[in-house]
Structure 1
Amino acid sequence: MPHYAGLTALDQRARDIFRSVVETYLETGEPVGSRTVSRGGVHLSPASIRNTMQDLTLAGLLAAPHTSAGRIPTHAGLRLFVDGLLEIGDVGQEERREIDARLAANPSKYGGRGFDEALNEASALLSGLAGGAGIVASPVRDAGVKHVEFVALGSGQALAVLVADDGTVENRLMPLAAGVTPSILQEASNFLNARLKGRLLSEARQEMGAELAAARTELDAAAARLVEDGLAAWSGGADRERSLIVRGRANLLNEAGAAEDLERVRVLFDDLEQKEQLIGLLDGVNAAQGVRIFIGAETRLFSLSGSAVVAAPYMTGRQKVLGAIGVIGPARLNYARIIPLVDYTARVLGRILDGQDT
């Protein structure tokens, strides 16, 4: 079994050759040979480079995918490179402008479904800029209810507004039956405010069914329907509370070339259907300060597909973590470019959902 070597175990020659192999592989996706390394700025003979590459292979940092072929980094090698040798760039001005324009410049465009629309936009945006698939896990809604209200919008629609104790606001568009008057909207609002204020929505939802059934004789039928629809729109069960948004699956197919690449993408598509496991992975990001990276077999979920995830928490201005956003793709992601993109997008998304942008 190969012995994993830490960065301190590598001399300067080994570091230079290792860096050259990994950087070339991340750029091309192809195994890297000794002659390629020698032409890439490592001023040693191909024979000397081959010997060092063999040592790095025995150390578990490189692997030979085919007989007499070049080398590619193992997942352990990629982790060593990312942690110790990667030079991370900054988000370019053009990319910053695009992120700000699509997320921050006009938050009112999200309308009544601002929360969901902002998450969808961020996921699609990150997928387009970074390649791979963009993923976003919605927050756990654990704050108490401060105030609820129904607002008529016209055209047969109402806005169900929920304000939480932590200051977050969740708006949902819902259909409004014909003949519903402002007094009926107020009746439904008063009913919910009297019973939800100060309670966790997830807890109250379990008990509201019986309370609503008992109160039907007091409530107008239209008001009772509004109460039911509002509770469903805000909470919507466990799947609604923790949605997982994935955008840009087609990018993964564009990156696939050989048959084995397509098979890895097929396995990754299966992984993307494991909603609970993916949300659990992103929940692990919530405790982090900044970007976290998961590579291949480091997580059981991606042990077969050999995929990687770059993710960061998005949070309020008071540093309360709301959820996590990231990019998933093959292990040879362009980490130097994607890490700052994920970090910046997460910060902008946090400001939008916190209502700080105007």
Structure 2
Amino acid sequence: MTEPVRPFSSPQQAQVLTALNERAREIFRQIVESYLTNGEPVGSRNLARILPMALSPASIRNVMADLEHSGLIYAPHASAGRLPTEQGLRFFVDGMLELGDVGRDEQVRIEAQMRAAASGHTFDSALAEASTLLSGISRGAGVVLTTKTNVHLKHIEFVRLDPARALVVLVSDDGSVENRLLDLPPGLPASALQEASNYLNARLQGRTLGTLRAEIESGRQAMKRELDAITERLVDAGLAVSVGPSDARQLIVRGQANLLDDLRAAEDLERIRLLFNDLETQKDVIELLSRAEGGEGVRIFIGSENKLFSLSGSSMIAAPFRDGAQKIVGVVGVIGPTRLNYARIVPMVDYTARVVSGLLDRNPR
């Protein structure tokens, strides 16, 4: 089973949990679990029927008042039951969430679909499959973030535009083409462009730009023997442009339509509209996913804890994946409403990330 997600966000949370007695903890748990199941507030009379202990509605209301005072629950309307606040959700996820296991049948299905996608097409196809799988499991949007240095290429070509500039043309295994502008060294002969293209293409088979650059750097002396100084500069400049940081991130999103399911009110539709706007702003999504690369295991981001979801009130569950050298090279995750099924989705995201890491270890990009 997946380890607990993360420690308490603050010492105050740990103090609150310690201060809650058994019945307060159970009432809070039931309020949260009811919200995660159906999104509806729950009142004292309903709680009295489902609690594993005998308490009157009046006693339950007293406990709910204390929980509300602590900032863990709130009343959406004056006469309504209670819902967890974002602080309450964080409190529940960090200290009370009981994670499930990924069943053996689900493990086999995830591994089989990922292997088929990786072997039948490209590793990028496997990443897209991971996003689709997580979307189906969560009924939210599946997301994958990876670096373009890991994109599998089959051809590189330098094309002169004028004496001072050239295009670096990058052709991926999936047929996509990307062009980058490159400033040329003064006095570069026309033959150097072809020579640099030949040199890189001869070494590109079975490699990504990232691994190719690392191998060329480690074999610097061999390159000096094969190329003259000006062509060597061209190779270095071409690789630097090709893996530059300006757009080195690739975002894959699948299953946005799932977010339209189970809408219960006009405010839900507005929340989804805002979330769609968030997803279209890829820069902010990439920035948030990049934060999940900063630590071990699964990370959970809830609502206005981050600026991306401050309006739509959404959550993201994400986990990093690694290459064969155990270097973090990307993130897989799920974006959806704050009432995601955390107990089920957290271990699924964690397991999918480990499957992706295993594929990278066996089949380096």
- Which residue of structure 1 aligns with residue 76 of structure 2? 65
TM superposition shift of 1:140:
6.1
The reply on whether 1:348 has 2:355 as its aligned counterpart is yes
1-structure distance, mates of 2:17, 2:140: 29
SS of equivalent to 1:138: strand
Q: CA RMSD in A?
A: 3.5
Corresponding residue for 1:126?
A: 134
Distance 1:236 1:128, change over 3 A: farther
1:322 touches 1:350 (CA, 8 Å); kept in 2? no
Q: How does 1:230-245 map to 2 (within 5 A)?
A: 238-239=246-247, 241-245=248-252
SS class of match (2:136): helix
Look up the equivalent residue of 1:331 and give its one-letter code: T
2:124 — aligned with what? 116
Partner Cα distance (1:24, 1:317) in 2: 42
TM-score by length of 2: 0.73
Deviates further, 284-293 or 189-198: 189-198
> Structure 2 CA distance, aligned partners of 1:119 and 1:233?
24
CA–CA distance in 1 between the matches of 2:39 and 2:26?
19
In the TM superposition, residue 349 of structure 1 has moved relative to its aligned partner by 1.0
- Partners of 1:70 and 1:135 lie apart in 2 by 34
State the AA in 2 paired with 1:102: Q
Unaligned runs of 5+ in 2: 1-11, 157-168, 178-193, 204-211, 219-229
Distance in 2 between residues matched to 1:23 and 1:67, nearest whole Å: 21
The answer (yes or no) to whether the contact 2:321–2:329 under 8 Å persists in 1 is yes
Q: Deviations over 1:200-245 (max 9, x none)?
A: xxxxxxxxxxx78x99xxxxxxxxxxx9xx9899659844x21111
Residues 41-120 of structure 1 mapped to structure 2, 5 A cutoff: 41=51, 42-105=53-116, 107-110=118-121, 114-120=122-128
Matched residue count: 300
Aligned to 1:297: 304
Report the counterpart of residue 188 of structure 1 in structure 2.
197
Structure 2 counterpart of 1:39, from 42, 49, 52: 49
Which of 32, 53, 78 is residue 22 of structure 1 equivalent to? Answer: 32
Please name the residue that 1:198 is paired with.
217
* Paired amino acid for 1:10: L
What amino acid does structure 1 have at the position aligned with 2:106?
E
TM-score normalised by the chain length of structure 1: 0.74
Cα shift at 1:353 = 2.7
Matches within 5 A, 1:244-263: 244-263=251-270
Q: Secondary structure of 1:304's partner?
A: coil
Distance 1:19 1:237 in 2: 45
Measured in 1, the distance between the counterparts of 2:98 and 2:276 equals 30
